[in-house]
A and B are shown apart, each in its own frame.
Chain A
């Protein structure tokens, strides 16, 4: 594992009009472009994982419309809509106008969006990374349903080590953080309520994805069963599965350097 660099990374933010909403996109770093899609719980502005990636890539990190206070597209009804919005975004960004010029990494719910993006435009993405991705129906277990548990319990469920949760959010998250989680949960309900957090049609479309794919899963993911990682790796034509020991669903917050290295090694490789 590479040591954590303490060099500060500077992030800028821009607003891009897409599909009737103002999409907020944060940007940092230099190198090959990487679109990074966050979890269903939204995200903090800064995380060590983001900085680690920005040392190797030009990281483009949008806020999903309707999450973390960004403008809600009232019309949106499913995750494929969101994936289409991101394909639209790729056409707007100078880094991704040419086909297969940008890699896409999705975390959890963001991984589902990334997978949908890849099926919508199988040759648009250079390399695809799915980390603990929702989107497929488990054959044995279930995807943990946040509708039945509190905001804090749901996020804690995604950590193998509760000390990691405390480090990132504090042992007792602020009410402002809870309100964000509630807002994000509402948006997730709007587009992924039923079936909850998967698409029955996605498995039939993954076979057309041309991009090489890296599927990463936390060994102790209690939100999306590891079985789904195995299924993604099998259904995507050019995929391999990496399991991270000692991590739950939020691999990016529990093992930031390890995940950043896996992604860097994979997405820095030449060719397609």
Chain B
């Protein structure tokens, strides 16, 4: 079992009434409401939380990025990954992930990720995402080529990581005269790639074909079972057996000293309007060409207000369906929650995980992907190979 700590890093210090009045806390909600003094405080608080999460026993810290919205202050997950690479010792640094289509130069991404892997002594897990709908607009990237760019950037990054340069890349969306960065990952054959997702079947199928673990982000229980069914079917067709080491799940949990407090605090997951991503804008979140043609009808109706967000659900519904879990550990604040989770909840979860055989990719020593079928070399061996003193890595 691999238990990670994650926060969206919300910019919680903006005037909520302004967001409600504007009608969306996304894309064009003015950044005049962003207070950099509060931002500075919050970034440093989040760093404290990450260090605490490592100290209380989490296996990994998950990072992500979003643009032009208060629900996530990380505009570049590689920045926090770099900081954590140097300031933590043991936890995996799990990026879920870099939005590949937004990159105009995936070789640059490959370089940055290799640097993070080396600085962290091989603790990087490099997830990749397509980016949200509004991110395409925030960064001016064509939503109609989102999936093509995702797949091509991935292929280019893995090649950059694993094949000695220099080589030339003449792709559909990317062309590079010389690929030969003087930074390659410490982990071999390359850092693990995990693929988070919410909705798109195409992404699940793609991840399963690549033999990359799929991380379901707070999906409803029934929908999640269907995701694993689809994944396992594709895995079988591809020639391997799916299982726990290919499955991840983001669960919103809140733990406090009392049930009442836990529930009250958990309501903050519905932060500032009703959905953890803030007050979405139906048009900006669904640019044409971004979504799978198979859900075109649902999204055009959502875009003009004829149906509710296909991804939305009330707090009560989500508690009921266990998409949000809140309570006491068998029986304040963020730091208390992290401490209680680490000291009381995680050990119990690990026992359950052992009973059920929920092995992580590390415990199972699974290959990093379909292209490299041999088990991965543990990073520890590589990190210490040229290092005079033994390192405290587990």
Chain A contact residues, CB within 8 Å of chain B: 147-152, 175, 178-179, 181-183, 185-187, 189-190, 193-194
Task: Write out, one digit per residue, whether chain B residues 271-286 have a CB within 8 A of any chain A CB (1) or not (0).
Answer: 0000000000011100
- How far is A56 from B149 in the complex, measured between Cα atoms in Å? 48
Q: Is the CB of A189 within 8 A of B142?
A: yes
CB-defined contacts of A181 to chain B, threshold 8 Å: 300
A58 CB to nearest B CB, Å: 34
Knowing A148-B283, A190-B145, the reply to whether A179 touches B137 (Cβ < 8 A) is: no
Q: Is the CB of A148 within 8 A of B303?
A: no
- How far is A189 from B148 in the complex, measured between Cα atoms in Å? 14
- How far is A190 from B306 in the complex, measured between Cα atoms in Å? 27
Q: Is the CB of B287 within 8 A of A151?
A: no
A155 CB to nearest B CB, Å: 11
B111 CB to nearest A CB, Å: 25
- How far is A193 from B306 in the complex, measured between Cα atoms in Å? 27
Q: Is the CB of A193 within 8 A of B142?
A: yes
Q: Does B239 reach chain A (CB closer than 8 Å)?
A: no
Interface residues on chain B, size class: 20 to 34
Q: Is the CB of B140 within 8 A of A190?
A: no
- How far is A256 from B289 in the complex, measured between Cα atoms in Å? 32
**Consensus secondary structure, chain A interface:** helix
Q: Is the CB of A147 within 8 A of B306?
A: no
- How far is A165 from B289 in the complex, measured between Cα atoms in Å? 25
Q: Is the CB of A179 within 8 A of B144?
A: no
A165 CB to nearest B CB, Å: 14
Q: Is the CB of A194 within 8 A of B144?
A: no
Knowing A185-B288, A186-B289, the reply to whether A175 touches B306 (Cβ < 8 A) is: yes
Q: Is the CB of B144 within 8 A of A190?
A: yes
B296 CB to nearest A CB, Å: 6
Of the candidates A149, A178, A194, which one forms a contact with B142 in the assembled complex, judged by CB atoms under 8 Å apart?
A194
Q: Does B301 reach chain A (CB closer than 8 Å)?
A: yes
Q: Does B331 reach chain A (CB closer than 8 Å)?
A: no
CB-defined contacts of A147 to chain B, threshold 8 Å: 137, 287-288
- How far is A26 from B298 in the complex, measured between Cα atoms in Å? 31
Task: Write out, one digit per residue, whether chain B residues 287-301 have a CB within 8 A of any chain A CB (1) or not (0).
Answer: 111000000110111
Q: Which parts of B288-323 form the interface with A (CB within 8 Å)?
A: 288-289, 296-297, 299-301, 303-304, 306
Q: Is the CB of A190 within 8 A of B304?
A: no
- How far is A152 from B301 in the complex, measured between Cα atoms in Å? 11
Known: A179-B296, A185-B289, A190-B145. 15 other contacts (CB 8 A): A148-B137, A148-B283, A150-B304, A151-B304, A175-B301, A175-B306, A178-B301, A179-B297, A179-B300, A182-B296, A182-B303, A183-B288, A186-B289, A189-B288, A189-B289
Q: Does B143 reach chain A (CB closer than 8 Å)?
A: yes
CB-defined contacts of A175 to chain B, threshold 8 Å: 297, 300-301, 306
- How far is A143 from B282 in the complex, measured between Cα atoms in Å? 22
Knowing A189-B143, A190-B144, the reply to whether A148 touches B28 (Cβ < 8 A) is: yes
- How far is A189 from B300 in the complex, measured between Cα atoms in Å? 16
Task: Write out, one digit per residue, whether chain B residues 134-164 have a CB within 8 A of any chain A CB (1) or not (0).
Answer: 0001001011110000000000000000000
